[in-house]
Amino acid sequence: MEITPEIKEQILSTARVLSIPMRVKFRGVTTREVVLFEGPCGWAEWSPFPEYPDEEAAIWLKAAIEFAFTDFQPKAKTVKVNATLPAVDNVREVLEPFGKFEVVKIKVAEKGQTLEDDIRRLNTVLELYPETRIRLDANGAFDIETALKLSEYLLKNNINLEYLEQPVKTIAEMAELKLKLKQLGDIKIAADESVRKVSDPLAVAQANAADILVLKAAPLGGITNAIAIAEETGLPVVVSSALETSIGLSMGAYLAAELNSPYASGLGTATLLKMDISTESLLPESGQIAVTRVRPEDQKLDTLTDRKSDMVNRLTRITSKSHQF
C-alpha cells in the first residue's frame, strides 16, 4: 500500500500515544506504549517495542495501516483463546482473571530463572487447573540440551502438552531439536521468532524445523501477508498477540477467524493490562473473544495519553521514509 500524503495526514492527525501499565511484568515490560490512529475502516494500533529498529517497526506500521484502511469482514463471531502466564510465582492471581480456559501458555526460560523454576510453575498450574492443556514458550532462550531435558520431564510425567514454542533460537537448532525429539516421543515444536524475526518467514517450514507456526499479524505486516504465509507453508497455525490493547487484538481476532485454526489463539492478553482503552475490551469470556473492531473511549484516551513520548516523532520519521510497503 502506498503511503500517500492523504494517508499520512490521516494517520498523523488522529494518532494518540498511550502508556498503559501492565498488571504483571511480562518479558521485562511493565508499561505498554502504543500508538492508536483512525482510518476510514476503523481504529488501528501501532505498538512496536522500543528496542525495535525503524525497519522492523515499519512492518508493524504496514499492518496497522492495512487494518485501518481495509474493510475486512469477520469470518466468525468469536475465536477461542488461551490463558497466558508470565514467568511469575503468583500463578493463581494472574490466571484467575482469564476465567474459564482450556489451554494455558506458560513463559519459561526467563533470564535469571532456572529449569527447576519453570517446572515448579508448571506444576502449580496443573495443581490449580488439572484438566488444562499446556503450551511452554521459551522465546528461543533454551539450548538444545535443556530443551531435551525439559521434554524428558514432560513425557515422563504425562503432561498434557500441546507444544513447545520457540524452544531454541535458530532455525538450524530447531531442526536438530525436532529430529532428537522424535526419538523421545510425541512433542511438537511451534515456531514464533523463527517466523517473524527472519528475512524469510517460510524458511522454518522449508527446513522442516517446526510442526506449527505462531503467526502475529503486526510483526508479519498485516492480515493479508499472514494469511499468505499460512497458506504457502501448509502447517497448522496459532494466531497470537504482542501485548496489544483491544484495538491491536481485534486485528489478530480477524486473522484467527480467517484462518479457522483448531488451536486456541493467544489473543486473551488484554487481561495482563491494568486497564484497556474501551468498554468493549476484548477480555476472554468462557475462553473466547469477539471478532469485532474496537473504538477507544475519549475519556480513556485523555487519561492514558503520554505527551512525553517520542513515538509520534518515530511515526513521522517512518511514514516519511516508507513511501510504499
In terms of Cβ atoms closer than 10 Å to its own Cβ (0-12, 13-18, 19+), residue 268 is: buried
The boundaries of every CATH 3.20.20.120 domain in the chain are 78-295
Known catalytic residues are 107, 216
Displacement of CA 12 from its chain's centroid (Å): 25
Confidence of residue 322 (pLDDT cuts 50, 70, 90): low
Within the chain, all domains assigned CATH 3.30.390.10 are found at 5-71+300-321
Tell me how far apart the alpha carbons of residues 4 and 310 are, in angstroms, rounded to a whole number. 23
Report pLDDT digits (tens) over 248-285: 999 999 999 999 999 999 999 999 999 999 988 999 99
Residue whose entry in the numeric block shows the C-alpha cell 522449508:
206
| Strand pairing report for 103-107 and 83-85 | parallel
CA dist 200 and 198 (Å) reads 5
From 315, 325, 322, 255, select the one nearest 36 (Cα to Cα).
315
- Give the span between the Cα atoms of 87 and 117, in whole angstroms: 9
Whether 321 has a pLDDT exceeding 80, the answer reads: no
Contact 315, 11 (CB under 8 A): yes
Write the pLDDT tens digit of every residue in 29-78: 899 999 999 999 999 999 999 899 999 999 999 999 999 999 999 999 99
Section 221-231 average pLDDT: 97
Where does the pLDDT of residue 198 fall: very low under 50, low under 70, confident under 90, or very high at 90 and above? confident
**CATH superfamily of this structure's domain 78-295:** Enolase-like C-terminal domain (3.20.20.120)
pLDDT in the model for residue 37: 97
Q: State if pTM tops 0.85.
A: yes
CATH fit for domain 5-71+300-321, picks 3.20.20.70, 3.30.390.10, 1.10.760.10, 3.40.630.30: 3.30.390.10
